[in-house]
Structure 1
């Protein structure tokens, strides 16, 4: 009924399990609702989330390792036919006996209705739906309902995790905006090391430098720059003004 865990698809199953639990661990390590509720002692939602993840992993293994409804080989069909009692044959309606089953051209088994040969598994599957590479198994008669249930649980877990991730990003952005506003407020506060830090007019003199009377001032990075024709007469002639 079940495949070998270490058979085909072992790497895919291992990657799925590792990825699932790593994402769950990240959601609990960062500042999310799950971690805050866990720190406050409110364990209802954290335990529910972990249980949903655990159920999704168990359903994944069940769907992945379950026999999807492989059609038995020719030898099994022959043994089953020889084992049917004669009185049982009489109980089968005549219309059912007249139905001819087609034979698969690849594995040479008699295919029941709605069965199809899987190119990947090389088996005929009853009520074949598709071959899912993520579970490395076919979806057929036996595991179809479990596959739908697994998808539903996995969808709930993914939406819940996506909501917490988006909420975490929003909180981080709001924290950065608030921090930038606080820093700007402190920089513009009177008595701060930046001298108020707020933008100053272009005509203001940098700290430690005085204005030259009657001369337009052009400064950058605290350095006065004046054109020679605008300098006072004493400075243009090379004489000391004092």
Structure 2
């Protein structure tokens, strides 16, 4: 098989949540560059307009959608609207997420519920609805976004950590059920990337230095560093990869 056939996404249709900025935006643009039509979802109406405009400027196909991922009914509606628009979806990237930083003894239960709803519940609901359609077609790729905190406990982020451990478990559970139907369910675990979610860490000189000192790559990741991993897991190149968590971490886990 030619490389273009292995890694190309021409004619494929993808839904990417969290596509307004950061990692989601980078993944959406990478999938579009590889040939996919990308449905770019954000939490607020108009949030993905810049991503859609950038994709179209490069000659790609994209459409903006929005959904409050903390609202289960809105998430289900997003899945239905995406299917109505596209007819079918070949790729789902569950990238939308949130994080709250508070010591566990002071952590508000409302923040706990918000983190779990956005990071875990929405991932399950979108995977369930769109995965069912993929099973019918016996073809599809689902990519969940895990974290380095899928491997460790972190500090002052109990809800985020719990949700990202659960995302890995969900990824493997769905892979066990759906691999035989031609649906690949995998995850990417980004390391320390320059995004809104890590702004507090980047601004803390002591914590920033601690992180950099452990990174063999010697730098924070840029959102574009996820492009290759996303294309691999979305393409035919990963047809025999199921339930895998691909760490893109600058060597963090190796250290």
Q: Normalising by structure 1, what TM-score?
A: 0.22
Normalised to the residue count of structure 2, the TM-score between the two structures is 0.21
Larger radius of gyration: 1
User: Which is bigger in relative contact order (C-alpha 8 A, separation at least 6)?
Assistant: 2
